[in-house]
Amino acid sequence: MLTRNEIIEHLKNDNKNSELFSLADKIREENVGDAVHLRGLIEFSNICKQQCKYCGLRSPNKHIERYRILKDDIIHTAKHAVDMGYKTIVLQSGEDDYFSTDLIVEIIREIKKLDTALTLSIGERSFGDYQAFKEVGADRYLIRIETTDRNLYKELHPNMNFDNRIRCLKDLKELGYEVGTGCLVGLPGQTIESLADDILFFKEINADMVGIGPFIPHPETPLKDTPAGSFELALKVMALTRIMLPDINIPATTAMETLNPNGRILALQSGANVVMPNVTSTEYRAKYEIYPNKICINDNPDKCRNCIEAKIKSIGRYIAKDYGFSHNKN
Ligand code: SAH
């Protein structure tokens, strides 16, 4: 295990990057093996009541065509993904109150009739909601802390509250979910020290999954003129997360591939063991624009599946056939 100072040293210094990536790759192989878990991502609503300053879905953005995929269509999309071999469905959206507790419960019930694990990524909800979703079979929940720097969190999330985000993570753990969190890399004003604290935070809350992505500026947000985060730095934060949490699930994120055409493969070779291909139908993809130039927006679910399978095989890895529950035994 690395100390905070050692993590900071690695993040500041670029002359040992390739050793760092190889070490993370080796630790990944020893702890979670060569299997790559695919999670089929359904982006079912881009309607959001929040105003996160980096995100293109923020409610003040009027230059975006909003959509909501209705229940039957979500279930249909999930069924197609399961037929294609996905063993996990991820339901992601903005914070859209149209999707009431009861409606989400109904959707979970239907999807859990299929042969699949289910992950939710729908933002901050009450303990009661999280409990209701768990009772009908939701297995996992993703909610990134985004940054552990409280002042920066406050600056970037008007009307939101850092302590409530922590409360969500604690509630989800207490309810027995596998909990995924993570951070953005390259936010304006974010320090290297705070990135080290993010990694220590993932360990402290005993995360089962951690997603790391570079910040990418969206033209219709207050951060439109902020430069994008560095691919290399995001990869280093990810590799260090693997070193510090050897047996968790770590996705090669889509944002990494947006900044580097080989980003997901490089991530899979630097500690990652999960990929989350988009299974949303083509008509909605471009509209789920959390950041610009998202990959695969003109593709369909079948094409994405074949493309990622070929990439994974090309580096001597294989697609897992099991549900991919976390190995985290802590
Ligand atoms: N509403 C859900 C899902 C958010 S979208 C929630 O609050 O959890 C999923 C992730 O996209 C976010 O957690 C954030 O880290 C990332 N994201 C948003 N805007 C981004 C941007 N401009 N660049 C890179 N990643 C971004």
Closest-CA residue to 37 (of 138, 110, 117, 133): 117
3-state helix, strand, coil in the chain (%, to 5): 40, 15, 45
For residue 106, what pLDDT is reported?
98
Task: Please list, residue by residue across 186-222, b when 16 or more beta carbons sit within 10 angstroms of its beta carbon and e when fewer do.
Answer: bbbebeeebbbbbbbbbeebebbbbbbbbbbbbebbb
pLDDT for position 329: 65
What is the tens place of the pLDDT at every residue in 169-181? 999 999 999 999 9
Q: Read off the tokens for 8.
A: 């900071």
Write down the pLDDT at residue 286.
Answer: 95
Name which residue sits closest to atom 2 of ligand 1, judged by CA.
123
**pLDDT single digits (tens) 221-280:** 999 999 999 999 999 999 999 999 999 999 999 999 999 999 999 999 999 999 999 999
Q: What's the CA angle centered on 291, arms 147 and 38, to 5 degrees? A: 80
Q: Which residues line ligand 1 (CB under 6 A)?
A: 54-55, 92, 94-95, 121, 123, 143-144, 146, 184, 213, 215-216, 218, 255, 290-291
Q: Which atom of ligand 1 is nearest to the CA of 92?
A: 3
Ligand 1 centroid – CA 15 distance (Å): 30
State the closest ligand 1 atom to the C-alpha of 146, by its place in the atom list counted from 1: 15
pTM score, whole prediction: 0.98
- Of 52 and 330, the structure prediction assigns the larger pLDDT to 52
pLDDT (0 to 100) of residue 328: 81
Tell me the CA–centroid distance for residue 55 and ligand 1, in Å: 6
Q: Say whether pLDDT at 330 is over 70.
A: no
Pocket test for ligand 1, best of 55, 125, 202 (most atoms within 8 A of CB): 55
Q: Which amino acid is at 76?
A: H
Decide the pairing of beta strands 178-185 and 140-142: parallel
Q: What average pLDDT does the structure give for the chain?
A: 97
Phi-psi bin for 316: left (phi > 0), alpha (psi -120 to 50), beta? left
Whole-angstrom CA distances from 47 to 55, 58, 219 are: 12, 8, 18
Q: How far apart, in whole angstroms, are the C-alpha atoms of residue 272 and residue 209?
A: 10
Task: Tell me the per-residue pLDDT of 289-298, one tens digit each, with 9 for 90 and over.
Answer: 999 999 999 9
Query: Nearest residue CA, atom 18 of ligand 1?
Result: 55
pLDDT for position 67 = 98
Q: How confident is the model at residue 327 (pLDDT cuts 50, 70, 90)?
A: confident
Instruction: State percent of the chain over pLDDT 70.
Output: 99
Please compute, for residue 197, the number of CA atoms within 13 A of its CA located in the half-sphere on the CB side.
11
CATH 3.20.20.70 at 4-319, yes or no: yes
Per-residue model confidence (pLDDT) at position 209: 98
237, 290, 294, best to mutate for ligand 1 pocket (most atoms within 8 Å of CB): 290
Per-residue pLDDT reduced to its tens digit, 11-41: 999 999 999 999 999 999 999 999 999 999 9
Closest CA to 318 of 308, 329, 327: 308
